[in-house]
Structures are given as C-alpha cells and as structure tokens.
Chains A and B, each alone.
Chain A
Amino acid sequence: MSSDSPLVIVGASYAGLQLAASARESGYCGRIVMVGEEERLPYQRPPLSKGLLTGKSSVDMLPLRSDAFYRDSGIETVLGRRAVRIDTSGRRLSLDDGQTLAYAWLALTTGARCRPLPVPGAELAGVHMLRTLDESLALAASAGQAKTACVIGGGFIGLEVAAALQARGVRVTVVEAQSRLLARSVPPIMSDYIRNAHESRGVRIETGRGLRSLRGEDGGVVAAELADGTAIPCELAVVGIGVIPNDELAREAGIAVDNGILVDACGRTSSERVLAAGDVANMLHAGWGPDGAQGRYRFESIQAANDSAKACASVIAGHPAPCQSVPWFWSDQFNLKFQMAGVPQPADQVVLRGSMDNDKFCLIYLRAGRVAAVHTVNRPADHMLARRLIAAGAKLSGEQAADEQFDLKRLLAGPAVSPPAAPQSRA
C-alpha cells in the first residue's frame, strides 16, 4: 500500500475514530484522513444528556483521544468541513470548500441527526435539540435560568434529559405521543417501572398525548400545547423524537440506502471500496448467538459504532471479520443504571428476576428456551454476564430465570451449548 492510497473517513465521532484507529492498528500504512463537520475532535456523547447538564462533567473531560493520539497514529483531521459529493467511479470525495480528496477506501460514518419537530414552534428561543456538544452547552445554559421545562419525546434521550434537569431543580414534564414510555425498546412492565421512577422523583409524565404546537411570546417558548388544547407552561423545551440517518451523501452517489446505508456484516456498501459504520449503517447482521438473530439492524449505540467500525477496518486489512458481538446499550437516569443486552422481540417470554421495589432487577427475555436479551437496572454484573449468556445461546427455563437462588453463571460452566447427543457434558 502506498502513501497515495488514502483511507478517507467522513464523520468524526465514535465510528470514524474507531475505524481510523483499528485500520492503523491492523497495519494500514496509507494516509488516513478523517473529515468532521464540527470544529471539534471526537468527543464523548453520553455526558451530553447527563453529566454535562448536571455539572458532573466538563468540556475538557470529553475528548475521546488526546491530540497526541492523532499525531502519533498519523490520523489527519479536516474539521469544520462537510462532504458534499462522492464520485465512486473516480474514487474522489468533494468537500464544501471545493477541495477534493482521492480515496483508496472511503468510510461513511456520518451518523444521524435529530428528527425535526413536525409542529409549529420549533424556531422559538428556548427550544432545544440534543446531538452535539454545543447543543448540550446551550441547553445547560438555558436550564440554569429556567424553573420549568417540557421534554417532547419519552425515549432514552428525553428521559435522560428529564432526569438531569429535574435533578438540578427544574420542574419537568415529559410529553410522549405513544401510550407508554420507551415503547419501541422495552415491554410494558419496564415502561411502567420507568414511569414510576420518574414520577416518584417529581417528573410529570404525559403519555398518549400528541403535541399540537409550541407556543411562544416575544420569540421565546412559553408553553407546549397538546392536541386536546391543554397547555403545559414551560420556559424551555427539549425535543427528543428520534433521529434520521445521514445517508443522503451515499444515496446521491447511487449507493443503496434504506433507513441508513445498507451494508453487509462487514460494513461493505453496494459500492466497491466504500464502507459504512455507526448510526448511519443499516447492517445485515450475521447473528450474535445461536438463536439465529440475523437480520438488518441500524443500531444507535457506542458499542455498535465501535464494533461496526472494527469490521470495516478488517475489510481494509484484507481479513474481513463480520460483526458478531451482542448489541448492548445503557442509559443512566437519576440513580438508575439501565443496561440492555440483545434485542428483545414482542413474542419473547419476559421473566422478572429480583424486585423492582428496590431498584435492582433483571428482565430476562427467553426465546425458544434460550436467553435472547436481558435488561437490567442497577445490576451491572448481571448485564456483563447476560452478554456472555446471549452469545453462548444459554438454555434457561422461566422458573430458573425467576429464581434468584439459581446461579446464572452455572450456565457458562462447561460447553456453552450442550450438544443434544452428549449428556455426559452437562455439569
């Protein structure tokens, strides 16, 4: 590989950085150029909806890597620039300042952007979205002067922001159009638990309530008006109603997209020498356990960003290694550490292990007698164990799952999956 065969990465956050780092670690000796729209080097995102709002984190704590890392690893950065066009036949990328970059490999890690508010009022002062560090800082500043806030959207971001604002003394109302919180991600039993956790700490939760508009006075938001005409007064509003993958650059270049850039389990797009990873990648997973968890998923998590980026790097290195890790994700709200491993399906048997009353429990999702997914609250050891159980396709009955005396670690002793014809292998 010569120095005139650069790896060009569009997007400078978790996936882009991991891809650059992994490519270098696996011996890529060409130039690596990472293009980012923000003026900042890659930084941690979880604190934007948590610690940065409560004051527990500060900006200088956020860089994912030191300046020395980029220098020592030979990773060039082009910041504050947007990629505007890919010429796949000529293998060139154009940026918004007119410069073009030739590539040997192009990696698209362009992420996603906040879904805009579909009702009037989004342009009012005091209405916030949350994706970037600057947006988080603006929200924190705004929250310092507000006594009331309205969070539009009862998903993870909305609930984390609600918890953070409530913790700093702002009275928060969460408005969710669905009939329950986190409806896309968790079963009703968990939605009820989370709702209770928020309400018992003073957050007002309005589910099944559509938003008609955000009302303003003198250009600033003063209330959220619901579909039935109810007005919820607020000095600031935070909109967290999901994201849209930034796949336009790929689509305009003729690369296959459908809810993100379509990639195989190694991150390869429909275009030769073009890879994609992170939030923008809609990946055909090879499966992460013997339950055949194959299918297309576009995950929005750090773990998926890192692992899909590593898969891309393996393609560049000439030894393609498909993404096979169990998906996991976490959310901190108040003193609750909520962790999820695997992807539950509506038909799974859901078993409660532990007690919701003391905020320490697991929800175990069983599919065809095996552990398919686990949600934990304040049980990090069980979360770590769950990832191994899911990967191993551990067999578990509903009775065992509910019985706290039954040691789940036992399932990992001996062969992970006992072949049916080998009873002597059972521990």
Chain B
Amino acid sequence: MELYQLTIHELLDRLRVGETTSVAITASVFGRIDTVEKEVHAYITLMRETALAEAERADERIRKGEIGALTGIPVALKDIFCTKGVRTTCGSRILENFIPPYDATVVEKLRAAGAVFTGKTNMDEFAMGSSTETSFFGVTRNPWDLDRIPGGSSGGSAAAVAADECIASIGSDTGGSIRQPAALCGVVGLKPTYGRVSRFGLIAFASSLDQIGPFTKDVEDCAIMMNVIAGYDPRESTSVPEEVPDYRRFLGREIEGWKVGIPKEYFIAGIDPEVEAAVRRAIRVVEGAGAKCIEVSLPHTGYCLAVYYIVAPAEACSNLARYDGVKYGFRSGEGRDLMEMYKKTRAAGFGAEVKRRIMIGTYALSSGYYDAYYKKASQVRALIKRDFDEAFAKCDVILTPTTPTPAFRVGERTDDPMQMYLSDIFTISTNLAGIPGISVPCGFTAAGLPVGVQFLASHFQEGRLIQFASAYEKQAHIEQRRPTV
C-alpha cells in the first residue's frame, strides 16, 4: 500500500507511533497528483509549496506530542471556500483573479486541527450543476471511467478522494452536490443538517439550502471530519447553537431493532436496474444486521425538483447580484457607463448555466409572478418538510438510492438542462427539508461504475447516520476495488 491510499485514521495511527511523517504522506499525495491529475483534473489550484511547509510544521508538533484531530493529513478544499491569500474562483471566470482576504470558518477549523491543504478543487460554476462540466476551468473526469463525469457540483472534491489525490476533502451541497458525486465516485459523502456547519466564507449559492460536508474514504473518516467542522459560529447567523457530539462515539455500534423507512416514491420507473439492484442488496444487508425495513411514503417527492428549481435560482439571483465588476473579480472593459459595464461584465463573466438560473430566479421573483412561483414553491416546500416529519415519526432512518443512474458520459446532458436536473432527483428533498443525508458506496455496475446508497435522518441526527452507515459498511463487504486511473 502507498501512503496516499490510506485513510485518515490509518495515517493518524502511523503518525502517532512515528511510523511515518506528514512530509512523507504529503509527498506521496503530490506524487500521486503528478501521475493522475492530468487525466482527472480534480483541482483548479494546487497548493504544493504551502502544503509541504505545513507538513513540516505538523511533524514538529507531532514530535512534541501535540497531535490534533487531523495533524499532518492532506485535505482538499472545494474552490468555493475562501482561503486567505489563495485564489478562490468558484469555478467562474468572474472570480478568476479573486484572492480572499480571509479564511472561511471551515478552513480555519481544519487548519486549527492540523490539516495540510493540498489545493482547491474543481466544481460546477457557482456550484450550479450536477457534473462539474460548467466549470470555467475545464471538466473533471470520473477516476473510474475517464469518459464519464464525476458528478457535481463538488465533482473535483469527490474525484480527488476517489483518485487518492488527497486523503479527504470538503464540499458543499445545495441539492445533492456532495452526495451525488460521492455516489458516482464511490466515496462517502455527508451533507449535515442545515445550520450544523458554519457557512461563513462559503461563497453563497442558495443560502437556505447550502450546507458544507466531508468526502472521505470510509465512515470513520467522515466522523473524524465532522468532529472538526461542525459547530456554532457567531459570524454566521443561521448556524445553530446545538451541542455537537463526538461523532466517533457512534462508530461500530449495533443497529439491531432500528426501523428503516423505504420510501416507495424513490423506487420509480427510470431508475437504472443495476442501481436498483445494488440498493436492494443494501436493504438486505441492513436487515441482516437486525434492522427492520418498513415502507414509508413521502407523497410530495414528485414536486421536489420543481420546488428546488424555483427556490434555488431565486436565492441565487439575489446572491449573485454582488458580481458586478466593482469590488472584486473580472470587469469587462467595454462598458461606456456604469449600467453597460455591469451588463457586459456579467454577460462575459458568467457561463450559460449560471445565467439560466439567474434568469429563472429573477423571473420567479419579478412583479406579477412572485405568488405563482416563489410563494407557491415555498408552500410546497412546507409540505415536503412535513412529509419527512411524518415519516420520521415511524422510522429511525430512511434508505434510498443516492442517484437514479451511475455516472453518465461527459457531454451527454449538457444541452438538455432538464435531463441534467433529473440527476439530483433523490438528493434535493433533503436540502429543502434541511435534514442530514449521507451517501455510502453500495457496489458496482457490471461496467465497474460505483453505486451509492443514501441514508437520511431527522434534524441534527448526524450521529445516527454515522452509526447506521458504519454498521452498514461493516456488514456490506463491498469489494475493495480502486479506480484504474
């Protein structure tokens, strides 16, 4: 085994006993990056020099016996998190030269825990997409099949973990942008409860839906990352002052007697048969561990996509009004007056998908349409949330496929926005209801593409998700394959 192939907990075990060093681990990861990055293109910006300096400092601390939760571990950051002094693009031309003057709270927390930052990962522009194809900085490839997309919007963060170009990474999830790429790249991805992780310094897409979470190689690493990033932040007014448990306590516990809700609306026509078969096997695994599966209903599931594609663009068009060529980022030199400068800057600075969503949002909020679109969507959102409240009165967790299909081909859906939007059909409801969700690998298709199973729990029950996912992972005996890249 190479060092870059190991998990956080395996590496920490070796660091603690002096069997390896952070410099060796970091050099191993960058060696791997040198081998595969030209094919995968998981990163927008690499932080090689600062990483090696951070690794040296981590080794000094380890020698003094000061080992934190992530001391010396190479971690990648989605390029949506502000990093002081390091270019942060959000995948967009309009921020191609933006150098933040401060760190996001999650970046501060990871740094304080001792993480070594490898770089900023590729993403759909402003996190708007399901394939990482809308990035201004090129397409990321799925490490399991380079002709296919890694999912999105946090495709770079998922691909980097799958291809061993970092040990773990951080992404953001507005409608599935952690869980969907985690499923398509065969890694673990968790979207916490809304408010659980501070969004300070996260470039905003849809502020009532955005949430930050980890990509890891296994569930134990997920718990380690959550211990570092979760918690209240006085700088973020929607972060919740709820106690954060030690998530590692939930690892390795039994799930016997747990009730698992299987929502009938998630096993629909159009779901890929191999995906369905893998998820049905996952159901048998948790039953084998003593859990009891019951059918539940989430009757408004069929409306989630329509609600999401009103609410998210409405919030986005307002959040993206700040990109006007004045305070930071790209400015077109063509405008003769202020209004022309705004329009030419935004027309040249944003890509097609971002413009499409700004247009939908502006339309949905505009005079005469507000009630028909935004208000109506917010009312249906209330019903979607109620569906989950009612389901969780009957079960401890809900089990669904993470995605309806395995990774699709690069270019396959770029010309058809509706087809692209359908790839998030099983993940969007979670964000609308604000509940946590985790995607865990549950097998492979015959063509060797990974499949993910999603577990959902009620608000602030990330510990329950980690317990369930850990028990599943232990029982499932998913074949330990590695991508061929």
A joins B in a complex: no
- A: residues with CB less than 8 A from B are none
